[in-house]
Structure 1
Amino acid sequence: MAVIRSDRPLNWRELAAVAAGEPLALSDAARARIAAARVLVEQIVERGIRAYGVNTGVGALCDVIVSPSEQRTLSRNILMSHAVGVGAPLGVAETRAIMAAAINNFAHGHSGIRVEIADQLVALLDAGYIPEVPAFGSVGYLSHMAHIALVCIGEGHVRHGSERISGREALVRLGREPLVLEAKEGLSLINGTPCVTGLAALALARAERVLDWTDAIAAMSFENLRGQLAAFDADSLALRVSPGLNLVGERMRNALAESGILASVVGQRTQDPLSMRTIPHVHGAARDVLDATVVVVNRELASITDNPIVAGTPDAPRVYSQAHAVGASIALAMDSLATAIAQVAAMAERRLDRLVNPLVSGLPAFLAEPGGTCSGFMIAQYTAASLVAQNRRLAAPASLDGGITSGLQEDHLCHATPAALKALEIVDNTGRIIAIELLAAAQAYDLQPVDAPRAPHTDALWRRVRAVVPTYRDDRPLADDMAVAFRLIGEAAPPLPPASGNLPSTPTPGDHTGFAAHAANDPKAAALHAPQSAA
């Protein structure tokens, strides 16, 4: 179903849906606002009102006057000189998210582009001709949108399925002409915060999915490690004011209800290790950060982030050339979300270590077949530890990186887009870590020495795993199973346990985040249909 940009700005869920492949359409009112803003730019040009990037140069050249005859050249040259990205291209979902955020920003009616610019971007989105956008090279917001905008004028390259073609060829196939940019349009296409905002919406969607799975998998590990359910006592948890903590606590209680394994060990320990008894506290804190980040991202989508902004009326046009394109708040939010998810992943690895360590688990060493010829999950825990360490390095705040660009004109940088990119990488790493924990928890059930039934909910999760991955006996590369589990996490939300209070209802199957496609494109996951069938 098409996502409509109407009088109301898109929210992060709608943006994530477009990133995942839903079409985007502009309402008549949105198109009228875009057109009205273009009239303001035309009046600014006609009256010679000084306006940054309209009749002046950009960056440190902001005081250089550009004549009317040169303004088309300025717009085109801005795209050419700002398309400086390097490295592997962004994924399809990431690029779609940025494009949708840009269209949303234009629809506020303060950018000054022609409607034809927005229509060109919508047509590319809906036809699946996705511009090739190198991932790196931005300290803020410029290079990614420049590579996207190149395609609008028949330059650059696009991906269409597995095919790579020129921007000009893509427009020919769509029956569209390359656009000749008018005054301000080049600058409007590259500035603002659509890059970080689009990526941030995608990070929220993937983080929410990962947190849901982490709760479910943590319940499996807790049961296998025979924890004390008192850690999730509702009266105790209610003493700490945290919506996330109390949500996770209720989920854990419901997921582990009727567990014969846990009933058999009630009162045997005073306290469990922190990686077990602080599941509500750590997972809940991450959810509280997620909720706070949602507010920032939705606020950014509702904001006009151009520089300059055009406003007023055709009789009295106004230009605001200030700093709304700087994404300090969303950079800080992305850094915070990245750290929160990295902490959740670090604790998941600690639970995994307890599952494979016979000194504390009461399970066979490394969840392996006995006899010394099998290593089981010994080295899979190494992989998780490596990813936790990588997350720790990535979690250093991008918003503090600083730097000086544009001849001292831009002498403070927030690195908002890099903050979102590394948050996405941390979320992906976390998905892989919990995929390993999921496999280990399923294996632990197979080897569980306690002769008592699992909780109905964790039993259903175990069966879901075993439907695609058999018990591991060192009889195949474990990396293949890990990739299957990562894909399982990416393709659908976990079933939520029966709610005794106000838990969210079970998410509908299917992916609306871009995460499933990302997981399916994982190099290892792509070749796993044979192992899955063999299971």
Structure 2
Amino acid sequence: MAVIRSERPLDWTQVAAVAAGEPLELSVDACARIAAARVLVEQIVERGIRAYGVNTGVGALCDVIVSPAEQRMLSRNILMSHAVGVGAPLGAAETRAIMAAAVNNFAHGHSGIRLDVTQQLVALLNADCVPEVPAFGSVGYLSHMAHIALVCIGEGYACYRGERLSGRDALRRLGREPLVLEAKEGLSLINGTPCVTGLAALALARAERLLDWTDMVAAMSFENLHGQMAAFDEDSLALRVSAGLSRVGERMRASLAGSGILAAVVGQRTQDPLSMRTIPHVHGAARDVLDATAGVVNRELASITDNPIVAGTPDAPRVYSQAHAVGAAIALAMDSLGTAIAQVAAMAERRLDRLVNPLVSGLPAFLAETGGTRSGFMIAQYTAASLVAQNRRLAMPASLDGGITSGLQEDHLCHATPAALKALEIIDNAARIVAIELLAAAQAYDLQSGDAPRAPHTESLWQRVRRAVPVYRDDRPLADDMRIAFRMIADEAPPPLPNPGNIGPRPAAPADGAQRVALATVMHLAAAGHFDPAVSIAVNDGQAAAHQA
């Protein structure tokens, strides 16, 4: 289904949908806003109103006047000089996300490029003709969009139907002509925060799916390790205020409902290790960060991030030279998301270690079927530990890196795009760690003693793994299984939860937190013998009153 940029800005889910291959369309009113902003630029040029990057140089050259005859050359040269990316190209999804965010920014109607320029980007997107964009070399936002814009003018390279083509040949395949850029268009094409915003939308989509999987895989490990379901008690969790924690607790109860394994071990331990009983707290905190980050990304998509911004009317055009292109907020959000996912993955590795460690698992050493000649998952845990360490290094905040560019003119840098790129890398590493835990949890089920049944939902997860890979017996490279499990987590949704939020009968809960505390207090006193066992408890307005039956 096509994603339409109308009078409302795109949100992060729509950008992620375009990144995944959905077409993008501009509504009539979006086209009208783009065209109206172009009229303002033409008036600025005609009247000789001084405007950064329109009739001046850029960066430290902002006070150098550029004549009308040189403005086309300025626009083209900006692309050439700013296309300085290095390293392997971004993936198609990453590049498409950036392009979608750029089109969204132009559709606000304050950039001043011609509609033809925007439609060139839309045509590339909808034909899935993806510009070749080196991943590295940006301290903010310039180089990635410069490489994308090169294809619009027939330069650079693009991938079309698996073939690497010059920009000119790629446009010819689509039946389009290279653009000749006019005043301000070169600057508009490379400016603003579409680069980090597009990548951030993709990071949100991948992180959301990963967190869904991580809850489910954690449930499998919890069941294999004979955890105590009291850790997920709804009344207990409600005493800590966190939407994410509450949601994860609900998901864990849904995943593990009906587990014969867990029913057989109720009360055997006072409490479980932290990597098991803090699943709602750690996963929930990450979900809270995810929600906060989504708000930042949506605000960024709703913002005009050009420098300069054109506004006013054709009779009274205005130019605002400011710093809206600096993505301080989204850089901080990407650093935060990366750290949150790194923590979730670090705890997954701890559960994995418990599964393979015979000192605590109650299972065969390293989940190998026989000892001595088979190592099972011993070294797979090394891989997970290595990825946890790599994530720890990557989680250092990019937003604090700083630096000075453009002859002291740009003397504060937020490194928003690098923050998004490393968040994406952390998410990929985390998915590999969780994939190893998934394989180990499936193997642990196969090695469990006794015949107590698994929960229906974890049973479906185990079956899904076993349809993809058989039990491991040191009979093949384990890396192949790990790759299959990673693709499962990266590309597919986990099985749907059975009736989440409504798992089995439970007593009516008090209406608010104060009432919960009061009821808990009275129940504690009753258990301690301070009330007769034959007591009925009424909780009203947060006060507990005990009445003899």
TM band (smaller chain): over 0.9
C-alpha separation in 2, matches of 1:52 and 1:492:
46
Structure 1 equivalent of residue 77 of structure 2 = 77
Structure 1 equivalent of residue 501 of structure 2 = 501
Using the TM superposition, give the Cα deviation of residue 161 of structure 1 relative to its aligned residue in structure 2, in angstroms. 3.2
1:162 maps to 2:184: no
Q: 1:158 corresponds to which letter in structure 2?
A: A
Using the TM superposition, give the Cα deviation of residue 311 of structure 1 relative to its aligned residue in structure 2, in angstroms. 0.2
C-alpha separation in 2, matches of 1:432 and 1:231:
27
C-alpha separation in 2, matches of 1:379 and 1:492:
26
Q: Deviations over 1:437-459 (max 9, x none)?
A: 00000000000124311011100
Matches for 1:133-152 after TM superposition, within 5 Å: 133-152=133-152
Using the TM superposition, give the Cα deviation of residue 499 of structure 1 relative to its aligned residue in structure 2, in angstroms. 3.1
Structure 2 equivalent of residue 58 of structure 1 = 58
Structure 1 equivalent of residue 227 of structure 2 = 227
Please give the TM-score of this superposition, normalised by the length of structure 1.
Answer: 0.93
C-alpha separation in 1, matches of 2:291 and 2:89:
30
Higher relative CO (Cα under 8 Å, sequence separation at least 6) belongs to 1
C-alpha separation in 1, matches of 2:202 and 2:80:
28
C-alpha separation in 1, matches of 2:96 and 2:69:
34
Structure 1 equivalent of residue 532 of structure 2 = none
Q: 1:203·1:420 contact (CA, 8 Å) conserved in 2? A: yes
Q: 1:296·1:329 contact (CA, 8 Å) conserved in 2? A: yes
Q: Deviations over 1:371-413 (max 9, x none)?
A: 3100000000000000000000000000000000000000000
C-alpha separation in 1, matches of 2:71 and 2:248:
56
Structure 2 equivalent of residue 519 of structure 1 = none
Structure 2 equivalent of residue 422 of structure 1 = 422
C-alpha separation in 2, matches of 1:502 and 1:98:
40
Using the TM superposition, give the Cα deviation of residue 502 of structure 1 relative to its aligned residue in structure 2, in angstroms. 7.9
C-alpha separation in 2, matches of 1:199 and 1:207:
12
Q: Deviations over 1:120-168 (max 9, x none)?
A: 0011111111000000000000000000000000000001132101000
Q: 1:257·1:455 contact (CA, 8 Å) conserved in 2? A: yes
> Quick one: structure 1 residues 500 and 133, their matched pair in 2 at CA, closer, same or farther if it must change by over 3 Å?
closer
Structure 1 equivalent of residue 409 of structure 2 = 409
Q: Deviations over 1:210-251 (max 9, x none)?
A: 000000000000000000000000000000000000000011
C-alpha separation in 2, matches of 1:278 and 1:321:
49
Structure 2 equivalent of residue 190 of structure 1 = 190
Using the TM superposition, give the Cα deviation of residue 491 of structure 1 relative to its aligned residue in structure 2, in angstroms. 2.2
Q: 2:369·2:447 contact (CA, 8 Å) conserved in 1? A: no
1:281 maps to 2:278: no
Structure 1 equivalent of residue 295 of structure 2 = 295
Please give the TM-score of this superposition, normalised by the length of structure 2.
Answer: 0.91
C-alpha separation in 2, matches of 1:373 and 1:331:
49
Structure 2 equivalent of residue 313 of structure 1 = 313
C-alpha separation in 1, matches of 2:276 and 2:97:
36
Aligned-partner SS, 1:467:
helix
Q: Deviations over 1:71-116 (max 9, x none)?
A: 0000000000000000000000000000000000000000000000
Q: 2:90·2:133 contact (CA, 8 Å) conserved in 1? A: yes
C-alpha separation in 2, matches of 1:500 and 1:489:
21
Structure 2 equivalent of residue 21 of structure 1 = 21
Q: 1:82 corresponds to which letter in structure 2?
A: H
C-alpha separation in 2, matches of 1:501 and 1:375:
40
Q: Deviations over 1:291-319 (max 9, x none)?
A: 00000000000000000000000000000
Q: Deviations over 1:49-92 (max 9, x none)?
A: 00000000000000000000000000000000000000000000
C-alpha separation in 2, matches of 1:502 and 1:162:
48
Q: 2:251·2:501 contact (CA, 8 Å) conserved in 1? A: no
Using the TM superposition, give the Cα deviation of residue 258 of structure 1 relative to its aligned residue in structure 2, in angstroms. 1.0
Structure 2 equivalent of residue 347 of structure 1 = 347
Matches for 1:360-371 after TM superposition, within 5 Å: 360-371=360-371
Q: 1:275·1:348 contact (CA, 8 Å) conserved in 2? A: yes
Matches for 1:315-330 after TM superposition, within 5 Å: 315-330=315-330
C-alpha separation in 1, matches of 2:473 and 2:430:
25
1:102 maps to 2:138: no
Q: 1:251·1:499 contact (CA, 8 Å) conserved in 2? A: no
> Quick one: structure 1 residues 129 and 500, their matched pair in 2 at CA, closer, same or farther if it must change by over 3 Å?
closer
C-alpha separation in 2, matches of 1:213 and 1:82:
40
C-alpha separation in 1, matches of 2:445 and 2:63:
70
Structure 2 equivalent of residue 179 of structure 1 = 179
Q: 1:335·1:399 contact (CA, 8 Å) conserved in 2? A: yes
Q: 2:365·2:371 contact (CA, 8 Å) conserved in 1? A: no
Aligned-partner SS, 2:310:
strand
Using the TM superposition, give the Cα deviation of residue 489 of structure 1 relative to its aligned residue in structure 2, in angstroms. 1.1
Structure 1 equivalent of residue 541 of structure 2 = none
Q: 1:120 corresponds to which letter in structure 2?
A: Q
Q: 1:179 corresponds to which letter in structure 2?
A: L
C-alpha separation in 2, matches of 1:455 and 1:491:
25
> Quick one: structure 1 residues 411 and 442, their matched pair in 2 at CA, closer, same or farther if it must change by over 3 Å?
same
C-alpha separation in 2, matches of 1:329 and 1:161:
37
C-alpha separation in 1, matches of 2:228 and 2:451:
17
C-alpha separation in 1, matches of 2:460 and 2:376:
23
C-alpha separation in 2, matches of 1:157 and 1:170:
8
C-alpha separation in 1, matches of 2:134 and 2:425:
16
C-alpha separation in 1, matches of 2:96 and 2:433:
27
Q: Which runs of 5+ in 1 are unaligned?
A: 504-535
Using the TM superposition, give the Cα deviation of residue 262 of structure 1 relative to its aligned residue in structure 2, in angstroms. 0.5
RMSD, matched Cα: 0.9
Using the TM superposition, give the Cα deviation of residue 492 of structure 1 relative to its aligned residue in structure 2, in angstroms. 1.5
Matches for 1:409-488 after TM superposition, within 5 Å: 409-488=409-488
C-alpha separation in 2, matches of 1:35 and 1:486:
45
1:114 maps to 2:102: no
C-alpha separation in 2, matches of 1:490 and 1:416:
24
Structure 1 equivalent of residue 399 of structure 2 = 399
Count of aligned pairs between the two proteins: 503
C-alpha separation in 1, matches of 2:160 and 2:267:
60
Aligned-partner SS, 1:305:
coil
C-alpha separation in 1, matches of 2:340 and 2:486:
20
C-alpha separation in 1, matches of 2:65 and 2:27:
37
Q: 2:218 corresponds to which letter in structure 1?
A: A
1:86 maps to 2:63: no
Aligned-partner SS, 1:310:
strand
C-alpha separation in 2, matches of 1:420 and 1:3:
23
Q: Which runs of 5+ in 2 are unaligned?
A: 504-549
Q: 1:19·1:96 contact (CA, 8 Å) conserved in 2? A: yes
Q: 1:354·1:361 contact (CA, 8 Å) conserved in 2? A: yes
Moved over 6 A (4+): none
C-alpha separation in 2, matches of 1:377 and 1:197:
39
Aligned-partner SS, 2:76:
helix
Q: 2:254·2:501 contact (CA, 8 Å) conserved in 1? A: no
Q: 1:403·1:413 contact (CA, 8 Å) conserved in 2? A: yes
Structure 1 equivalent of residue 519 of structure 2 = none
Using the TM superposition, give the Cα deviation of residue 2 of structure 1 relative to its aligned residue in structure 2, in angstroms. 0.7
Structure 1 equivalent of residue 387 of structure 2 = 387
Aligned-partner SS, 2:241:
coil
